[in-house]
Amino acid sequence: MAAARKNLSALQSGQVSQLLLPFLQLGEDTLDAFEKGLSKAIETDLLAMTVKQRDPAAFEYLRPSSLEEALQYLADLGEDAKIMSGGQSLIPVLNMRLSTPKYLIDIGRVEDLFYIREEDGYLVIGALTKHRDVEFSPLVRKLCPLLIEAVRWIGHPQIRLRGTIGGSIAHADPSAELPCVIAALRGEIVIAHADGEETVTPDEFFLTYLLTSLQPDQMIKELRFPILPETAGYEFTEVSRRHSDFALVEIAAVIDLDENNEITLARLAAGGANPVPCVLEDAEEFLIGKEPTDEVLEEASVLGSEQVEPDSDLHGSVEYRRSLVKALTKRALQTALKRAGGTKG
């Protein structure tokens, strides 16, 4: 109990990295939950390490000027190296010494990775493109407005000015907005290495919490989002404890209708409800060919909530997160339908 109170005091007094605060902010009345949920961390002195260590371990700083140079560094250094793009996720992890690479490869000057363009039916975005550039891009607004809706939920403007679209995907936070969008749209992730490139699907890329199929000698080169039909409606919505916090649950939705007001395209995915972004395929299949009545939307939202497998934590039980999936799915579908010009029946 004494150890738990000491760590709780440190957390509440601001002596711990901001990265952990969304997960660990607690009141005195939840001390028992704190002890149970973090007992193993306390036993291994993880929290004590987090409080005491505010600086990263020593590393050699490398700053390539081209993609080829960066990939050669990765090929030569392997697991001893870590890529940094915007640094919004990596820097806190380094400061807490949860990662201690011998080499830090800063790719911030690799101009080859800054671009937004249309190519072969896809909106293609370079890995180093900033969130803010995506947010205000006329081309993104025209070809994939769902992406803009999602980016606006990412942190604060200061974070969006530094954070990169490739970094967000590589970090693979299941509550992050961009993984949810690229999963919903069945986008593609282009991975580069010294010997060439390969393209993978989100299902192949995201493995579990904060873990991807990226190998030590690989990095994300670009993201490819299918261009949405001009008639399609879209919506991205989420619930968090406060704006810019990690999402408890988020939903990405796209709907298109034909001249008979029947659904011809349905794209749905949930974030924050599974270890990886979850495509709500059962709900999608149910919607195709139906008129979007309130009863149809309600059934689709129920099917979506039954497909997810959320975990319970200090911020929400399994039942609460599942209920959020149901409510947000229906809300997202209703907004997407309005943008598509459809009706609720």
**Taking the domains of the chain in order of start, what are their residue ranges?**
2-52, 111-226, 233-339
**φ, ψ (nearest 5 deg) of residue 107:** -95, 15
Q: Can you read off the two tokens belonging to residue 50?
A: 């987090």
Q: Which residue has 């986008």 as its token pair?
A: 187
Give yes or no for residue 16 having a pLDDT over 70: no
Q: What is the pLDDT of residue 315?
A: 87
What percent of the chain has a predicted confidence (pLDDT) above 70? 83
Distance separating alpha carbons of residues 96 and 301, to the nearest angstrom: 40
Q: pTM for this structure? A: 0.83
Band the pLDDT of 245: cuts 50, 70, 90: confident
CA dihedral 148, 154, 158, 163 (to 10 degrees): -80
Interatomic CA distance for residues 24 and 303, integer angstroms? 32
Average pLDDT over residues 15-36: 44
Nearest to 248 by CA among 305, 164, 176: 176
Do 304 and 326 meet the contact criterion of CB atoms below 8 Å apart? yes
Mean pLDDT of 251-256: 98
| 3-state DSSP assignment of residue 269 | strand
* Local confidence band at 46 (pLDDT 50, 70, 90 cut-offs): low
Average pLDDT for 173-194:
97
Contacts with 229 (C-beta within 8 Å, 6 or more apart), sequence order? 256, 265
CATH class of the 111-226 domain in this structure: alpha beta
Confidence of residue 161 (pLDDT cuts 50, 70, 90): very high
Instruction: Give the model's pLDDT for residue 341.
Output: 73
pLDDT-based confidence at residue 344 (cuts at 50, 70, 90): very low
- CA dist 227 and 139 (Å) reads 11
CATH fold for the domain made of 233-339: Enolase-like; domain 1 (3.30.390)
In whole angstroms, what is the distance from residue 133 CA to residue 298 CA? 36
- Cα–Cα distance measured from residue 7 to residue 336, given in angstroms and rounded to the nearest whole number: 45
Q: Which helix (H) or strand (E) holds 303?
A: helix 294-307
The predicted model gives 315-331 an average pLDDT of 96
